[in-house]
Amino acid sequence: MIPVLEAVPNFSAGRDRPLLDRLIRAAEDRGADVLDASADADHNRAVITFVGPPDVVEESAVALAELAVEAIDLREHRGVHPRIGALDVLPLVPLVGLTMDEARASARRVGERLAAEVGLPVYFYGESSEPPGRRLAELRRGGFESLARGFPEGRRPDLLPQGWSHAGAHPSAGAVCVGARPLLLAWNVEVEGLSRDALEELARSLREKSGGFPGLRALGFVRGPQALMQISMNFEDVARRSPFEVFEAVETRVVEWGGRIVETEVVGLIPDRLLLEAGADRLTLRGPGMDRVLEHRLLNHVTDRVAREVDLLERSVLPHRSVLPAEVSDAVNRLVRALSNRRFRDLEP
């Protein structure tokens, strides 16, 4: 099976489209496949989603960090979203053919390079921290300004560049949080007709730490000159938890308090489960489930056919490996190793 690692770097620059374009090109130039990119002026934040083999994703992440440090000055940054770095958050997500331990190893390697090569203080969070499970909220408390003059008690970075001479974070680029985690849904629900106090109370009631949904982080924002009201949420491990239940809870409480939902924005890519559950609910669909989704079944069918063809190729080539040109052996080796999580025998004589 082809190993696919996802990176979802968050940058503190949501008002600079040329910079976003440069970041996208930097990832693509190193072989990553950029699946999505978005920017928000009120949050003053940009998010890019890209995938590829672990080595490609790691190299792309370092290149984007270098560009962010060069282009973003947090001393001039204003936005409603909490942040401590120019490259604020760098989560790595194992999608296909990879374990969480392998994603964690990638996160640790990237963190070491960001400290040694880019010159950034590094915090590890999620599955890459020691012990695993450190939350972003505890690292970003007080924002960049809390780290500018010195690291607060108990918040010294996990890694510092060699010979670090500053009392606190990088003077203009702050620090970076590098993590490994499961799939996460980052989404914003825009509402109207609520008071600011009601908005904040709604966000508070949804959070895990307030007895709400496990794995849910929620903040209430009033955005821009039009005073748009928004519940901004991160929902962890959507493969195991129902994001549509969260939406229904938000909808119910907003209506009860005399407001209405205007729209829902998903940051990055939309998980299949959210759309499936929403569609099944609104359509009163009989027998919903991923096994009845055409595209899901088609992908499994194609994947199984490719795996069988690769197995046939391996069995056909191995008896003749002693007479094969080296470049053919190398090409077959690369193919079978990329398309299977089994350990294949070396084809070279």
Catalytic positions: 81
In the block, tokens 């077959």 appear at 332
